[in-house]
Amino acid sequence: MLNIKTLVLGEIAANCYIITDTATGESAVIDPGSFTSRLNSLLEDVGYDKIKYVLLTHAHFDHMEGVNEIIKRTDKKAKVAVGREDIPLLSDSMKNLAFMFSMRTIDLVKCDIPLDDNDIIKLGDSEITVITTPGHTKGSVCFLCGDCLFTGDTLFAGSAGRTDFPGGSFEQLKKSLSKLAALKGDYKVYPGHDRTTTLQRERESNYYITGEDYDSIY
């Protein structure tokens, strides 16, 4: 069982999720877009010694500016995991868009665990499966845990991520969305921005998945 707390962080309002394996209390933080007193107090409630991972759905600056402070407060024991193909973005404020959006650079984030498709991350009694979903960035990944699917900027409620940034590919994004749609069963979807949804709702109505062209919608 997984307990999930949601915060909206940073200047582009990215969703940050604190996920906790209820049996053991072991926890991970997905996409900490900044470090705030609210995030800190939630992490103090969890216990910094229980935070095993910071998991990044991709390495755009608005999803990772809180990473280093969290790692510091765990006495550097928590590990940072990011899609292998996104590692170059961690140290490049042009590629991670900090410069494009905010005219600034951000501190380097170090990857401890490069993620590949089907990797399993153990969080207490829970298992998190990595699904590589290139398109928004080359190294975008989704995290599957129990009946929850964390989709970053790959899949949104009724929409999908932009592909016009460096490394983006609309063709790849469409393939990645088909890969998610082909998962068996239904999942609660926790995206990188905006509201939650379900995979079934998106299978039925998200035109990036249904493939209906614009002419047939309007």
Question: Rule CB under 5 A: which residues touch Zn ion?
Answer: 60, 153
Shortest spacing between CB 136 and Zn ion, in angstroms: 6
- E strand map for 24-64: 27-30, 51-56
d(CA 208, CA 11): 26
Shortest spacing between CB 29 and Zn ion, in angstroms: 17
191, exposed or middle or buried, with CB in 10 Å at 0-12, 13-18, 19+?
buried
Q: Tell me which residue has its CB nearest to Zn ion.
A: 60
Where do we find the tokens 């140290």?
A: 91
Kind plus residue range of the DSSP H or E element containing 216: helix 214-217
Shortest spacing between CB 153 and Zn ion, in angstroms: 4
Kind plus residue range of the DSSP H or E element containing 215: helix 214-217
Return the number of the residue (8 or 23) whose C-beta is nearest Zn ion.
8
Shortest spacing between CB 135 and Zn ion, in angstroms: 11
Shortest spacing between CB 154 and Zn ion, in angstroms: 9
Return the number of the residue (50 or 193) whose C-beta is nearest Zn ion.
193
Return the number of the residue (21 or 153) whose C-beta is nearest Zn ion.
153
Return the number of the residue (20 or 154) whose C-beta is nearest Zn ion.
154
Return the number of the residue (98 or 199) whose C-beta is nearest Zn ion.
98
Could you give phi then psi for residue 83, rounded to 5 degrees? -55, 135
Q: DSSP letters of 97-115?
A: SHHHHHSS-------SEEE
